[in-house]
Each structure stands twice: as structure tokens, then as C-alpha cells.
Amino acid sequence: MAAGAKRAFFSMGEHTLKVPMELFAINRRRLAERLKKVAPNTVVVLQGGQDVSLYCTDVDYKFQQESYFNWMFGVREPGFYGALDVNKGRSFLFIPRLPEEYSVFLGKIKSTDDFKAYYDVDEVHYNDQIKDVLKSLNPKKLLTLHGLNTDSGYTCKEAVFEGISEFNVDNSILHPEIAECRVIKTPEEIEVIRYTNKISSEAHKVVMQKIHPGMYEYQGEAIFLEYCYYVGGARSEAYTCICGSGENAAILHYGHAGAPNDKRIEDGDLCLFDMGCKYAGYTSDITVTFPASGKFTEDQKAIYNAVLIARTAVIENMKPGVSWVDMHRLAFKMMLTYLKKFGLLVGDVDEMIEAGIGAILQPHGLGHLLGCDVHDVGGYLDGHPTRPAEPGFNKLRTARTLLPGMVLTVEPGCYFNDVMLQKAMKNPDQAKFFNAAVLERVKNVGSVRIEDDVLVTDCGAEILTDVPRTVEEIEEFILKAKRCDSGLLESLQSPEN
């Protein structure tokens, strides 16, 4: 940016975080530095997201930018292309030519200069000029994005434009380099993730204080989304909200269209609420588990503490050079050891892990990378550890060694899922580890998951999430709110009022 020029940033108002467009310029520079070593004299070309109609209607889904495009340019609008001259580091945006009637239905048509200033790029042209502009750069190759997302199983959408066949296109080089860039967060990116954690944490706390028996699960979702948008300016959620109570908490991705957070919350239910907001294209992912009544039963307390001790042990041992697989094993060991002391399990803990008992009670990995996507990219890139085959470990979303700047979720859980438990109790090699009488008593607890977003630092780890975590903290936090509500009600009912 020229000296004295106005700083470009994204914001949803003075009460929200200002995200400098320099964040995305830094990302482009990092990518260019990597590519200079493997593909000099090339130009990166990305295609941004498009508006998608709701089936055959003239109503569109709420637009969210494609994550790689957001990472490089921070563009909010659909229909854009972007390019990066690797050697010179120059950035280009290409925008759609909009018809005059756009200004009637959708607002002012911004000029190329408007977008150049707002997104702080070197040049802005129209989409129908892509071929000519790229020809003038005389690249040895165009690098397009093509690679597998190991979390979704889907392949990135490769840029396509009229005239691309006239270039030497390589779609194999870019993906591993840009994905590796996204694994390590810059200080600027971390500040945005801090913000999404701050807003989501506060929203979770509001939900914890307002939820009570007799309400419906979706009302917790509504409270959360309203807070994130109204207070934090976060228009989009990072993923479909999971608001499971009672037995629904044992369904890992509850909240979908077939189970839309629609159960009535009963007295005695544990609520497992997994929700996060998205701001400036960056996400958060937080799970809290709390009693709807504000007070844990003794069995609920025991299961909760088994998960909490696993979560805390992992975070205390996270640091650069540590294997994520080892952290997963540590979580299993801590949780199963506690459950053995409680009386739910019997036998040798290492043998339990080998027999897959950890996977029965926690049928998912310890956590995942977090960034522009809630399950962020880079989990199984070439040159890094492959997915483990061992039962209980084969669900890990990454097996990497931790590095400074990584942000991961730590989310151990203990689930009493009937399908998983019935299969286990029919298998003598697994059933022998369970105390059947205690299992029958506690399986109505539902489930517990505790999930924090954690930054790997130079010498350890930093928890970005800020919600009550211990049993005592949760009970005091919820009951304090209930006392306040009760006091307010009594004052309103007083004859003096």
C-alpha cells in the first residue's frame, strides 16, 4: 500500500473486529515465496465461489466464499477470479460485468477502482479480460487448484475461463503448497480466530444461562446465532449447529435436517451444544456440555470429569514436535483410566485401547485443524504421516506432528450410543471390559463432549476458547444466572412495584 494511503479492512461496524486486507496480502506473499522454489515464472489462478440457486427457484443460498479464494483475497462477493504473479508478487482480481438493472435490484455497481481500493490488490479487471491480462504476464505455466480434501472426500474446483486452453496449465503443483500454507496461521489470522472464539464463547455462555427444562433444543441454537450476529457481526455459522439433549447428545452430528434440534429439553438432561461462528472467512468450533437444570447428578459428574481430565491432559502436553496420534492415545488413556476408577470399566487400560474400547465410547478423532474451514485443510498432505489403521485411531482427521502456528480443536468425548454399545456387548473381546450393571445405570446420562480451540505456540499451547469448564464452574455460572432471574422476578412481583 502506498505511503499515506487509507488502510483497507473488513468490518461489520465499530463494535466488531477490523480485519486488515493486509492479512490476505501476507497470505499471498507466503504462497509466492513457496512457489518460487518449485514453480518460478508461473501465475496462480483461482476461481471464487458462485451464487447457487435454491433448486429451480429464483432464491439463492446465502453466499459464502470458497475457502482458498477467501484465504488469498478476502473477497466477499460471488463471481470473482483472482491471480497471483509468483515472481513479481503482483495480485489481480477479475470481476463480473454487471448489467445496469443490477443497480436497481441489488445496489450500486462498484468500479474496478472501488474493488482495487477495498481489497488492496495491484490490479482489477473484468472477467472477460482474464485471457488478455494473463497473456501479458507471459507465464511459463498457469497453476490451478486441484486436490483432494481429506476431510470431505471432495476435490477442489479448478479454475476455468474462456481461453484457458491457450495456456500451459499445471494442476498438480498448487494444491499441496497452498494447503500447507493454510496449516500454519499468521499472527493476523490468529487474531481473527481469537475473535471468533471470543464471540462464540460469549454466545455459548448466554445459551448456558438461558436454557432451562421445558425449552426446545433449537431455541439454544437461535440464542447462539442471534448473539453471534447481533453482537459479533458474524453473519454465518461455521457449521450446522448441534444442540443435543439427553439421548440426542450421543448423535455426533445431530442437528441436521432429519434431526433438526427439535426435542424438548427435560429436567435431568445434559445438553451437548456444539456451535461456532464465522467471521471474515475464519471459523470457531466450541462444544459445551452442561445440565439443563444447572446441577449435575453424581453419574453425570463422573462422566464429565472423565472427559475433562482427558481434555486437560492433552492441552498440557501439546507443544511443537508432539505427534497428534500420541495426543489421541493420551486422551483415551486418561479417560478410560478415570472410567475404570469410577467402576464402569474393568481390566488393563492399554488392553482396552487395543481392543477398541476407546473407539466405542469416543467414535471420532481427538480433534482437527481449524481455520477458514471448521475441518481445515492439510490433515493428510503428502510428506506427512498417513492415516492410522488402528481401530479408534483411523478416524483421526490428521496424524501430523504439531508445529507453532497450528490451530486445532481438542474435543474428547464419552458417548453412550446404543448402536455402538450393543455391538460391543455382543463381542466377548470387548464386553469383558465393561461392568454391565454400571453401564446400564449410566447410559441414560447421554453423552459428554468438551471442545476447545487451541493454538500451538513456540513452547506449548494456548486455549483460545473461554467458557466455564469444571463442574463447579459450570454449576456456579448457571445457578448465578438463575438466582439473578429469580431476584428480578421477585422484585417485579413486589407490592412496591
CA–CA separation, 263 and 265 (whole Å) = 6
Torsion of CA 193, 196, 197, 203, to 10 degrees: 180
Does residue 7 carry a pLDDT above 90? Answer: no
* Local confidence band at 489 (pLDDT 50, 70, 90 cut-offs): very low
323 DSSP β-pair partners = 401
pLDDT tens digits, 248-275: 999 999 999 999 999 999 999 999 999 9
Global pTM reads 0.95
What is the predicted pLDDT for the residue at 486?
56
237 DSSP β-pair partners = 277
Nearest to 120 by CA among 244, 237, 8, 236: 8
Alpha helices in 184-272 (DSSP H): 187-210, 217-230
pLDDT tens digits, 366-375: 999 999 999 9
pLDDT tens digits, 193-218: 999 999 999 999 999 999 999 999 99
Nearby residues of 321 by Cβ (< 8 Å), 6 or more positions away: 401, 402
% residues pLDDT > 90 (the chain): 94
Cell of 397: 482427521
CA–CA separation, 447 and 185 (whole Å) = 32
CA–CA separation, 331 and 408 (whole Å) = 15
Torsion of CA 66, 67, 72, 73, to 10 degrees: 50
What is the predicted pLDDT for the residue at 485?
64
CA–CA separation, 360 and 421 (whole Å) = 7
Start-end ranges of CATH 3.40.350.10 in the chain? Answer: 9-183
Start-end ranges of CATH 3.90.230.10 in the chain? Answer: 187-486
Superfamily of domain 187-486: Creatinase/methionine aminopeptidase superfamily (3.90.230.10)
Please give the helix or strand (H or E) that residue 334 lies within, else none: helix 324-342
CA–CA separation, 358 and 330 (whole Å) = 11
Look at strands 141-143 and 42-47 and give their pairing: parallel
> What does 102-139 look like in DSSP terms, one character per residue?
HHHHT-----HHHHHHHHT-SEEEEGGGHHHHHHHH--
pLDDT tens digits, 98-157: 999 999 999 999 999 999 999 999 999 999 999 999 999 999 999 999 999 999 999 999
What is the predicted pLDDT for the residue at 477?
97
User: Which is higher by pLDDT, 244 or 494?
Assistant: 244
* Local confidence band at 1 (pLDDT 50, 70, 90 cut-offs): very low
pLDDT tens digits, 295-340: 999 999 999 999 999 999 999 999 999 999 999 999 999 999 999 9
What is the predicted pLDDT for the residue at 5?
47
CA–CA separation, 181 and 137 (whole Å) = 25
Nearest to 46 by CA among 146, 179, 162: 146
CATH architecture of 9-183: 3-Layer(aba) Sandwich (3.40)
